Structure 1
Amino acid sequence: MTEVKVYPSKSALIAAAQEFIIDKIQNTINQKGICTIALAGGSTPKPIYEAIALSDLSWEKIHVFWGDERYVPPTHADSNQKMAKEAWLDKVDIPAENIHPMPTSAENPQDDALKHEEEIRQFFNSAQDFPSFDIILLGMGDDGHTASLFPHTQALENTENLVTVGNRGESLRLTFSAPLINAAHCVIFLVSGSNKQNALKEVFSEDSNPHEYPSKMIQPQGELIWFADSDAVGELALN
């Protein structure tokens, strides 16, 4: 199921998304006793994480992962882990063992990708299949990339691994593979800004190439929900 929610401003998008995500986490805990969520980086999710930190959730029942990570130390200014910890995780009483960052210390991204894949498989007790996260948060770049799945890169071809090495030019990343994202129960895109209009148009076009606009590859088995502001949508008829 795909749903598109369009809001008149970025602030309205963030307010609606944070309420939706908090409710989704709580409902998942109520139903399953646990919630697994994979976070996105970037500026748009940060106030959402800050809002989650102020909510009254059962932190011991939430397990936090990341959909992608720049291959930098966790103390680096560009680290997605650092941003999420400062905005949310360091402010709440979540057990350390419930936080599952992508490792970036082996000086070999391929080794670290395989290490994290093994951690995910052990957590979900899934030796062969693609495990299903409850919630995966994603952004979209103006080139149509999502997570660290960039146009015409090798990461798009990986249909076997849970975690693979992505790259933006010379900048290396770790990223969930498209099949792992597509195994999720709920995928939520957060898209803001007029610079996203062309990519959004192509992602929703029947004729565009997913390898040119990788966000188009995301077609999960569960819910797919787009939170977008009117600047990103422009004149597109997405509802």
Structure 2
Amino acid sequence: MSAELHVAADRAALVADAADRLAAAIADAIAARGRALVAVTGGSVGIELLAALGERDVDWERLHVTWSDERYVAADSPDRNAVQAREALLDRVPIPADHVHELPAADGTTLDQAALRATSVLEWLGPVDVTLLGVGPDAHIASLFPGMPGVDEPGERVIAVRDSPKPPPERLSFTLGAIAASERTWLIVAGADKAESVRLALGDADAATAPVAHARGRVETLLLADAEAASLVA
């Protein structure tokens, strides 16, 4: 099933719409099972979305947060998605500290060991209610890049990614299987440089060429784009 496209007039409208949708999805999950688990993403739009969520009415005490991918660098590195997310949202709202489940930072263990630790946490957390994903101009999602072995990794887990074409080279990422196990998977995309990726997201390209075309949620897949990003399809 293809992703459901929603187009906002511009980047600001996209971020506002995504924040409204996310606040509603969190409320729905809490109403259904007493808590919500969101796997957030990095990137400029992803961080803007988190900042906007801080202005919404959210039951922070019942929200859990993890990450769909992370850069394997020191815990205090500004390159870490978690550091950026804390600055934009998590340090500004009353979410319990033990509800923030960061992927491992580089602490002397190997990248493979870090991936195993992250997978154990993901299994312990249980189903993700919403997985948020940015999209690259090359049609990558999370840290699953075209032509790299990560797109072929099976299972619902976190994998080690080496030699990323974007720095830093070592990363941790959800597999396509972990993304697909999420109740809802949302792609958040802005900018004319992403227009070809949006076109591919709505097509049937193979995963090796366009990982974005294989981002799916268990019950819902949304492609939230601004007008520039959707210019080839809308």
* Contact 1:18-1:48 within 8 A present in 2 as well: yes
Aligned counterpart, 2:147: 152
1:123 alignment counterpart: 125
Structure-2 change in CA distance of 1:234 and 1:217 (3 Å): same
Cross-structure match for 2:70: 69
Match of 1:128 in 2: none
Letter in 2 for 1:135: V
Whether contact under 8 Å (1:151, 1:211) holds in the other structure is yes
Matches within 5 A, 1:71-150: 71-104=72-105, 105-124=107-126, 132-150=127-145
SS in 1 for 2:160: strand
Does the 8 Å contact 1:183/1:222 carry over to 2? no
Deviation of 1:65 (Å)? 0.3
Q: 1:161 to 1:189 in 2, by over 3 A?
A: closer
Distance 1:151 1:192, change over 3 A: same
The equivalent residue for 1:127 is: none
Runs in 1 of length 4+ with deviation above 4 angstroms?
Answer: none
SS of 2:179 mapped into structure 1: helix
Counterpart residue identity of residue 221, structure 1: R
Unaligned runs of 5+ in 2: none
Q: Secondary structure at the match of 1:54?
A: coil
Q: Equivalent residues in 2 for 1:17-96 (5 A)? A: 17-96=18-97
Shift of 1:46: 1.8
1:209 is aligned to 206
How far is 1:161 from its partner?
Answer: 5.0
Letter in 2 for 1:121: E
User: Where does residue 200 of structure 1 map in the other structure?
Assistant: 198
Decide which of 224, 234, 239 is 2:231's aligned counterpart: 234
How far did residue 56 of structure 1 move? 3.1
CA distance in 1, matches of 2:183, 2:102: 20
RMSD: 1.5
Please report how far the alpha carbon of residue 26 of structure 1 lies from its aligned counterpart in structure 2 after TM superposition.
1.3
Could you say if the C-alpha distance between residues 203 and 102 of structure 1 is closer, same or farther in structure 2, counting changes exceeding 3 Å? same
CA contact under 8 A between 1:106 and 1:112: conserved in structure 2?
Answer: no
Please give the TM-score of this superposition, normalised by the length of structure 2.
0.93
1:183 aligned to which of 155, 164, 181: 181
1:225 paired to 2:230 = no
In structure 1, stretches of 5+ residues that fail to align are 125-131
Tell me which amino acid in the other structure corresponds to 1:198: E
